[in-house]
Structure 1
């Protein structure tokens, strides 16, 4: 069994206006089947809000909510990229789009298929 180590990663939207940092050991990645996640095709890692720092670009973020309006999905106003969202079921956690992380390769991390479409 491989021991996982907490590491800090930096990430950004495509244009670089929104920049952030997370600390995680990547226990798993999540691919959700809800209507928005299917369309944005993101692969996410869940991090507690204490392990997330927005480094730049708060003014460049726009927010989208739907259905229960509990989850908060954030997008860059300039390039349209989705870097993260505040989760619905665990609102003290964020789902981070791992494709926005600098130099990160998700291939060796197990992916859990979340049943978001079944949430009412």
Structure 2
């Protein structure tokens, strides 16, 4: 079987043709050559970590986490499932995605991406209620993507491409994960709270994880790092990053890992996760 990785990233920097990592090794001068013993040790360590994460995910729970900008002008809530089981299939709608990208926009903005499973039901903006008029709106990627930021403190909480809408929902019910039905004009019981949310079918939406409030139950950026939940994406080269999982660096390897190592890890990911 020919070992290639052909996955386009659900990110504005994606390219219609993802490079074949196995044939692109010559274009990665910083790639590190690994011996078969070193490669085997990394792959086995990766498999062990994935098995542990799969076990943790069996007891995972989905809950709402609050976030805001520094001054509190922007307030939002996002639904996440934690503990998180990372996957290289970052285009999948089957789970949340946690990743960092090195494209110039994400790098300069210091964005730490969390892509919720279903943005239209898993994110609500509590304040302000019209991001286009009440927030700064830096446009990138041919003007299609809005990197909203607070005009007071400058913090970027989320980025978005698509259409949004205002709705009135039962906030307590939403925070419990019991639904997001619009209550406006329907005579529903409960207290209605007006929110802004993403319309279904939006091609791109991402929350800046650095703006999620620390100290909430089950939420720890330290845990995300230590357990290797963060996928690293080579947005500059328009491909899934070599050495995508942080725990590939447990051996002390710095920088890019060879394409051969990456393909081997992808095979392990498929074997462990699918089974």
TM-score, normalized by the shorter chain, greater than 0.5: yes
Q: Which has the greater radius of gyration? A: 2
Which of residues 217, 232, 237 in structure 2 aligns to 1:118?
237
- 1:73 is matched with 147
- Give ranges in structure 2 of 5+ residues lacking alignment: 1-54, 85-96, 163-200, 239-275
Equivalent pairs, count: 118
**Secondary structure of 2:56's aligned partner:** coil
Name the counterpart of 1:54: 125
Does residue 98 of the first structure (1) align with residue 212 of the second (2)? Answer: no
Query: Could you say if the C-alpha distance between residues 6 and 87 of structure 1 is closer, same or farther in structure 2, counting changes exceeding 3 Å?
Result: farther
Deviation at 1:93, TM superposition (A): 4.3
Runs of 4+ residues over 3 Å off in structure 1 = 90-93
CA 1:53–1:41 in structure 2 vs 1: closer, same or farther (change >3 Å)? same
Contact 1:87 1:95 in 2 (8 A): no
Task: Give 1:84 deviation, angstroms.
Answer: 0.6
RCO greater where, 1 or 2, for CA within 8 Å and sep 6 or more? 1
Shift of 1:72: 1.6
Task: Please say if 1:17 is aligned against 2:88.
Answer: no
Residues 2-40 of structure 1: per-residue CA shift (max 9 Å, x gap) = 122111000000000010000011544210111121112
Q: Is the Cα–Cα contact under 8 Å of residues 60 and 78 in structure 1 kept in the other structure?
A: no
SS where residue 6 of structure 1 aligns? strand
Is contact 1:32-1:116 (8 Å) kept? yes
Aligned to 1:86: 160
The TM-score, its normalising length taken from structure 2, stands at 0.39
Tell me which protein shows more strand as a share of its residues: 1
For residue 40 of structure 1, what is the aligned residue in structure 2?
109
Aligned CA RMSD, in angstroms, stands at: 2.1
